[in-house]
Each structure stands twice: as structure tokens, then as C-alpha cells.
Amino acid sequence: MIAAAYRCGTWLVTPLVRAYLARRVAHGKEDATRLPERFGIAAGPRPEGTLIWAHGASIGESLALLPLINRLIEGGPDRTILVTTGTVTSAAMLGKRLPPRALHQFVPVDLPQAVERFLDHWKPDLALWVESELWPNLIRATARRGIPMALVNARLSERSFDGWRRVPRLAATLLSSFSACLAQSEADAERLRALGAANVQVAGNIKFASEALPSDTSAHDVLEAAIGTRPRWLAASTHEGEEEIALGAHRLLSKAVPGLLLLLAPRHPQRGAELAARLSAEGFALRQRSKGERPAADTEIYLADTLGELGTLFRLAPVTMIGGSFQPHGGHNPFEPALLESAILFGPHMENFAVIARDLLAAGGAIQVADATSLAEAAKRLLCDAALRRSLTDNARAVAASYAGVLDKTLAALAPLLARADGHAHAGA
């Protein structure tokens, strides 16, 4: 009943959704050239063979999918993976990172006509939803067509659980549409079961099954030559308020480590112009990557305000500060620098990676600090002590290796659905 009311309501608000998307285009939050995709109009033909549709809301979820996408493609020569996301940033990143036989489209807005166009065209043989973004029209329309669905890497916070409990029939209707729900943790699994999900299994977090980020060898060599023998460190994926902490630490560090260069990579590169103006106003000698500039001999801050280059930066920097952990954003994946032998420093807010952070600290694979002063002290120790730095990176890579089984568990749980999808595609050929 509630799902039907929602469907009717979304028919009525179609003009408002169009106006909303137009405003997003004006603010750079939608790609005007690809706006038809948001209304279910495909940008290309459906490939032959098995089509597995994987939906991740934004950049974090979609990047977590990459190792799984690679394994899914390896598992079937006739498989194509259609990845949908809803943000311009995720589309840009996936455009650089998706392997052959994988393609990206923007997810259709949750209007009945857009959803039907999308499904009419793509006719997926299997749908994988990542984490917890649940669009009622899209889920119910997929279920009505008999397309098997799995909720992968499912996460449900206490706050989200409380919200869904206010609409229990809608939650049960949506969650019961999934043939399998693969939870990140037992706590997530319990919440999903309480809301009506069936066949709930704990597979772990596929974000933990990280692969080493790619690096542009040419870009790496050019930057390495420009930096020369200068010591350097990286503040990676920083959020508003964290640049001040990194800069405070850098001022202290520069007194102890002559010639030190800070590589500053904001989480959202569109903040680059604002950060460049602020840094210049504070008197820092700055070069900006988005302008094609390279570090010079007197550069103090190299602002890496571009997408898709963290792999290159981790390879350049022997020490990395993890952004999102000095403000209450929950941190970012510490395995990314670990796999590229950059020693890890993070702040007090690692809630999104609490288990990983705990294991890294217990194994001596990372150092947790509280503020700019303690960040500078820890970075100085690591920059000046190669043996300590090597110990940290070796321990961190060992912890990362211990999490590799998450992907195997996920694929094992999906195996019956994958066999069904492949069989359906071959039967329809």
C-alpha cells in the first residue's frame, strides 16, 4: 500500500524533479550532456550476453565495487557490468577506472517512467545494490520483472534503522525483494533481519578487499623528477577544516625537516581554487596540479586538486595523513596508502573503518594522533627514521592481506544468482 502510494506520488512530482535537476545542472552537480540518462534514456546499446547491473550511490560505494567488478568479469567471458551512480564525481572517476566490459550510466531518478525506460533498454540479468541506498520504484519495478537482486556490502546504521522502523511495511516490501542480503557486520545483519530482509549473510566489507590504486607511470616520473631528493609527505582526501590541521603540522615539521614539501590532495577537487586562494593569502609558495604546474625548488605546498591520482601520490609520499579522520567524517580507507608502502597517520575519527583502524593499531601498522602538534611529531619520527617507517608499512600490508577473503565470501554467496543470470542470458540468446 505504501509502495503504491509512493509510486503515485512520484508520478505527480515529475515536473518538480525536472526543475530540481535543472538547478543541479546550473550548480555543476549534474552533467548536462548526460542528463537524459537520469530519465532512463540510455547513452548506448545493450551489449550481448549476461548483463550484471551494479548500483553504487556515490564515489565511495562505486570505488568499493571495482575489485568485485574485476572478479565478476573474470568469472564469465560473456559478462558485461553496467555500473550506475548518481554523482558527477563518481562518473568521472569510474570513467578512468572501469575495466573493459564494464560501462557507466547515471542511475535514473526514481520516477516510474524513467525506471521503466531504463529497465526496458538494459534488461539486466542480475542487479547488485551496494550498501543501503534503496529507491522504491526502481527496486519494485526490477522485482516485478523477475530480475534477481542482491544487496551487497549492506550497511544499516542505528540512525537509518530507526528511520526505516517508522515505515516498517515499506522496509519489509523493499528488503524482501532481494534474494540475498550480504551484510558488512553481524550488527548490520541483525538490523536487516529485523526490518524483514531474508537470506541475510555476513560477508564482510568489500571496501576492505582493496586493490592497489593505479598510478600513471609517466605522471609519477615527471613529479618525482620535479621534487628531486626533497623530503615530502601527503595529506590525502582532506575535508573542510582538515587543511588547517595539515598546514599547522607542516609549519612545525618544516622547522625540523629542511626542504619539506606537503602534497595536499583535497577530497573534493572542486575546492581547489578556494584552497589555492587561501594558501596564497597565508603566504605559502604554492603550485597547483589542476593548472598543469609542477613543484618548483621553492614550492612549499603542491595542491593536487585533480581526480584519480591518489595512487600516484601514495607512491610519491613515504608518509600519509588520512583525511576525513580529523573531522567527524569517519575517515577514508587506510589500506590504499598501506598497499603502496606509505606510512599511515590518522586522526580520532575513523568510525567508517573502525575495525581496520583497530587492527592496524594493534599490529603496529599505523599511528593515531589527535591534532596538528601530535601529527607533526609522528610525521617527523617517520620521515627521519626509515626503519620505523618500513616497520609500519610492512605491518600495514600484512593486515591488508588478512582481509583479502572478503571478496571470496561475497562471490561465494552470489554464486547461485550468478549462475542463474548466466543461464538466463544464454537461454535468451
The catalytic residue positions are 61
DSSP string of 108-163, one letter each residue: PPS-HHHHHHHHHHH--SEEEEETT---HHHHHHHHHTT--EEEEEE---HHHHHH
| Cβ contacts of 35 within 8 Å, gap of 6 or more | 21, 25
Cβ-count burial 185-222 (b if 16+ within 10 Å, e if not): beebbebbeebbbeebebbbbbbbbbebbebeeebbee
**d(C-alpha 278, C-alpha 399), whole Å:** 38
The amino acid that residue 141 corresponds to is A
**Is residue 213 a contact partner of residue 310, using CB atoms and an 8 Å limit?**
yes
The number of angstroms, rounded, from the C-alpha of 3 to the middle of its chain's C-alpha atoms is 30
Cell of residue 281, nine digits: 593569502
Q: Which residue has the cell 568510525?
A: 351
Query: Rounded to a whole number, what is the distance in angstroms from the first to the last CA of the chain?
Result: 37
